[in-house]
């Protein structure tokens, strides 16, 4: 018993304290060192923070360099596979473009109305800071879904700023270094985004579920089911002030949600394919109502308002002009369609009369076989009609000679 | 112990584990593949295998640094992966000391117990001190994936070592 205990102690001691030929530190010292690192991580001392930032910067950039060859291979593969789908994509895009052009115009009109309404309720945000960044690292971790971008505090990036891919929400900045920042993706389980479901206007919180989906929490499901809308849109609600309201996130297919008993949001964007992202923060538009005492500020405010109004009017004019052009082109197209339709009708009418004639002839031939002997002129029936004459035809169609009263 | 005449072979034999470890940690395209129900921790497998089979093939300092790199890359608190890796080395080292006749199944079971314990420590630390929310389903899948992959990779590593040393059976 004692000897086995001794063996265990010896083995443990050997594992912890024995240094190999080329090992400069024992395992125990390194384990203690990593615990020391972990403990230090809990304190926010300036020196520790600074060192941590430097280490992170070095690792992020070295990772980018190490990933270069694989990224080249990945990109070339993507390019080749893109070529295969090129033609299909082109035809799809072409048909979509026309639809989108019309939709875009409607959208612009609604946007202006929305801006004016938001101004009325003092909820209109304008972009304060905006920067575009390249995704340096997109590592799939089982713990945290995040990306590292190449903009940091040097470029005015601050923790909490919203990150977009085009107009869609991607995540928010959670860690800022001097030249790089980490973005927590909305697909991460730790990201809690206040959202609104449109058009029901229900509020809730969304957290990540997997790379392409999120899950809604604190939502009254019954209300959604009662409304009975097939596809629901999920946008940010703006509650909490981190994100402005109305940023599109994804959509919910209610049929799927009812099947799985989970309100799952399908994101509009694929976060594994991010290459460039937009970082921006928002502020409320200055109303400057308290500056009315200062005449100069008042004047400049008035000028600013006028400029804004002119801008809006110009845009409205542009929209109306575009609308007019679209209407004109639609008009021309409709006229052409009408012309084509008329030609088609004429063609069809001709065919119809031909068919009618044919059917009449067929009927005549059929009756001729049956009743020909009743109408055909012969030696003994000289009062009948000669074959081929109109009288003969009338007689056949009458299924015999016409009786005279 | 091993008579290696060829310098290139020796170089490959010596530095492949280190190269693999750092590449897997620093590379963007890592081993957490985009399958929904399969992921595995390659670093755990590599460190455990080489600490068990070839003592000192990856230095403890390098493992410690690799852990720090991994933490930075994954956005985890710095030091947590180093601690996990080094504890994994400790277990491997202990097993090596007490084992007279190596057996893959025994190693495999030890590996299972070790990664369960390590993940328990990691999750506890993340949840208690950093308020992380963890998707346990994903983590269980990761543990199972790592465990299953260990068998596959142990064969691959063994085959590679024999190939490099010119001892392919």
- The answer to whether A77 contacts chain B (CB < 8 Å) is no
Segments in chain A below pLDDT 50 = 1, 288-289
How far does B152 lie from chain A, in Å, by closest CA? Answer: 21
DSSP secondary structure of A207-252: EEEETTEEEEES--HHHHHHHT-SEEEEEE--TTSSS-TT-EEEEE
Top pLDDT among A52 and B93 is at B93
Is B32 close to A137, i.e. CB distance below 8 A?
no
d(CA A367, CA A365): 5
Domain locations in chain B? 7-164
CATH architecture of the region B7-164: Orthogonal Bundle (1.10)
Of the candidates B39, B97, B139, the beta carbon closest to that of A14 is on B97
Is B79 close to A41, i.e. CB distance below 8 A?
yes
**Could you give phi then psi for residue B156, rounded to 5 degrees?**
-65, -45
Is A55 close to B60, i.e. CB distance below 8 A?
no
Tell the burial category of A78 from Cβ atoms under 10 Å away from its Cβ (0-12, 13-18, 19+): exposed
- The answer to whether A215 contacts chain B (CB < 8 Å) is no
Q: Which residues of chain A neighbour B23 with C-beta distances below 8 Å? A: 66
- Residue window 32-51, chain A: list those with CB within 8 Å of chain B: 33-38, 40-42
* pLDDT at residue B169, as a whole number: 43
Of the candidates A21, A25, A71, the beta carbon closest to that of B56 is on A21
* pLDDT at residue B45, as a whole number: 92
* pLDDT at residue A4, as a whole number: 62
- For A373, which DSSP code? H
Of the candidates A14, A70, A175, the beta carbon closest to that of B29 is on A70
* pLDDT at residue A286, as a whole number: 57
Average pLDDT, chain B: 83
How far does B72 lie from chain A, in Å, by closest CA? Answer: 6
Is B29 close to A74, i.e. CB distance below 8 A?
yes
What the block records as the tokens of B75 is: 């956005």
Calculate mean pLDDT across residues B93-113. Answer: 86
* pLDDT at residue A1, as a whole number: 47
* Minimal-distance CA residue of chain B relative to A136: B28
Calculate mean pLDDT across residues B36-41. Answer: 77
For tokens 């060859």, what's the residue?
A: A69
As a residue count, chain A comes to 405
Top pLDDT among B100 and B123 is at B123
Calculate mean pLDDT across residues B110-133. Answer: 87
CA A105 to chain centre: 18
Strand partners, A45: none
- The answer to whether A20 contacts chain B (CB < 8 Å) is yes
For tokens 């024992």, what's the residue?
A: A26
- The answer to whether A301 contacts chain B (CB < 8 Å) is no
Number of Cβ within a 10 Å radius of residue B12: 16
* pLDDT at residue A123, as a whole number: 64
Q: What is the pLDDT of residues A111-168, one digit of tens each?
A: 777 777 776 666 666 666 778 888 887 776 666 788 888 888 888 888 888 898 888 8
Is A30 close to B82, i.e. CB distance below 8 A?
yes
Per-residue burial over B76-103, b = 16 or more CB atoms within 10 Å of its CB, e = otherwise: bbbbbbbbbbbbbbbbbbbbbbeeeeee
Q: Checking phi first, is residue A238 left (phi over 0); if not, alpha (psi -120 to 50) or beta?
A: left
Q: What is the pLDDT of residues B128-161, one digit of tens each?
A: 887 788 888 888 888 998 899 999 999 999 888 8
Q: What is the pLDDT of residues B67-76, one digit of tens each?
A: 988 888 888 8
How many residue pairs bridge chain A and chain B with CB atoms within 8 Å of each other? 152
Q: Is pLDDT above 90 for B36?
A: no
pTM: 0.61
**Is the Cα dihedral B79, B85, B91, B93 positive or negative?**
negative
Q: Which residues contact A261 (CB under 8 A, 6 or more apart)?
A: none
pLDDT band at residue B1, thresholds of 50, 70 and 90?
very low
* Minimal-distance CA residue of chain B relative to A42: B129
Q: Is pLDDT above 80 for B123?
A: yes
Calculate mean pLDDT across residues B18-28. Answer: 83
Calculate mean pLDDT across residues B48-63. Answer: 86
- The answer to whether A143 contacts chain B (CB < 8 Å) is yes
Chain A interface, mutation test: which of B14, B19, B47, B60, most A Cβ atoms within 10 Å? B60
* Minimal-distance CA residue of chain B relative to A66: B27
d(CA A70, CA A170): 24
% of chain B surpassing 90 pLDDT? 20
pLDDT band at residue B167, thresholds of 50, 70 and 90?
low
- Residue window 72-131, chain B: list those with CB within 8 Å of chain A: 72-80, 82-83, 86-87, 89-91, 93-94, 97-98, 125-126, 129
């Amino acid at each position: 018993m004692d000897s086995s205990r001794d063996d265990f102690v010896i083995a443990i001691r050997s594992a912890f304290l024995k240094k190999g030929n080329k090992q400069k530190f024992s395992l125990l010292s390194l384990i203690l060192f990593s615990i020391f690192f972990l403990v230090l991580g809990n304190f926010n001392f300036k020196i520790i923070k600074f060192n941590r930032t430097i280490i992170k910067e070095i690792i992020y950039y070295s990772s980018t360099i190490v990933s270069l060859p694989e990224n080249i291979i990945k990109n070339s593969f993507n390019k080749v596979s893109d070529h295969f789908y090129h033609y299909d994509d082109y035809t799809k895009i072409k048909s979509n473009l026309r639809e989108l052009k019309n939709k875009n115009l409607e959208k612009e009109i609604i946007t202006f109305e929305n801006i004016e309404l938001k101004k009325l309720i003092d909820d209109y945000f304008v972009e304060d800071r905006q920067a575009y960044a390249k995704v340096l690292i997109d590592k799939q971790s089982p713990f945290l879904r995040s990306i590292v971008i190449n903009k940091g505090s040097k470029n005015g990036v601050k923790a909490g700023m919203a990150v977009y891919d085009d107009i869609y929400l991607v995540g928010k900045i959670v860690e800022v270094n001097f030249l790089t920042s980490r973005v927590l993706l909305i697909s991460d389980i730790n990201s809690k985004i206040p959202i609104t479901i449109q058009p029901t206007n229900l509020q809730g919180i969304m957290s990540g579920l997997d790379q392409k989906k999120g899950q809604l929490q604190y939502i009254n499901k019954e209300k959604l089911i009662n409304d009975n809308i097939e596809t629901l849109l999920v946008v940010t609600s703006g509650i909490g002030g981190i994100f402005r309201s109305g940023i599109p996130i994804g959509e919910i297919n209610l049929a799927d949600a009812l099947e799985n008993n989970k309100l799952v949001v399908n994101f509009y964007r694929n976060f594994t394919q991010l290459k460039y992202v937009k970082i921006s923060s928002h502020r409320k538009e200055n109303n400057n109502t308290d500056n009315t005492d200062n005449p100069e500020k008042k004047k400049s405010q008035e000028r600013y308002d006028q400029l804004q109004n002119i801008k809006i009017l110009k845009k409205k004019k542009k929209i109306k002009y575009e609308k007019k052009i679209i209407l004109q082109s639609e008009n021309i197209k409709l006229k052409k369609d009408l012309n084509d339709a008329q030609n088609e009708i004429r063609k069809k009418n001709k065919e119809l009369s031909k068919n009618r004639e044919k059917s009449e002839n067929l009927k005549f031939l059929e009756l001729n076989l049956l009743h020909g002997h009743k109408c055909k002129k012969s030696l003994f029936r000289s009062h009948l009609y000669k074959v081929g004459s109109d009288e003969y035809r009338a007689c056949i169609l009458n299924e015999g000679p016409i009786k005279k009263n | 112990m091993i008579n290696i005449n060829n310098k290139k072979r020796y170089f490959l034999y010596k530095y492949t584990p280190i190269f693999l470890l750092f590449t897997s940690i620093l590379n963007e395209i890592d081993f957490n593949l985009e399958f929904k129900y399969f992921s595995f921790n390659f670093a755990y497998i590599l460190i455990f295998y080489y600490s068990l089979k070839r003592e000192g093939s990856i230095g403890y300092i390098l493992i410690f640094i690799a852990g720090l790199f991994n933490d930075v890359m994954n956005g985890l608190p710095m030091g947590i992966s180093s601690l996990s890796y080094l504890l994994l080395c400790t277990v491997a080292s202990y097993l090596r000391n007490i084992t007279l006749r190596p057996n893959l199944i025994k190693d495999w079971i030890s590996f299972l117990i070790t990664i369960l314990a390590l993940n328990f420590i990691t999750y506890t630390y993340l949840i208690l001190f950093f308020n992380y929310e963890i998707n346990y389903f994903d983590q269980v899948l990761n543990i199972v994936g790592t465990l299953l992959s260990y068998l596959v990779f142990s064969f691959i590593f063994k085959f590679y070592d024999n190939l490099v040393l010119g001892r392919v059976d």
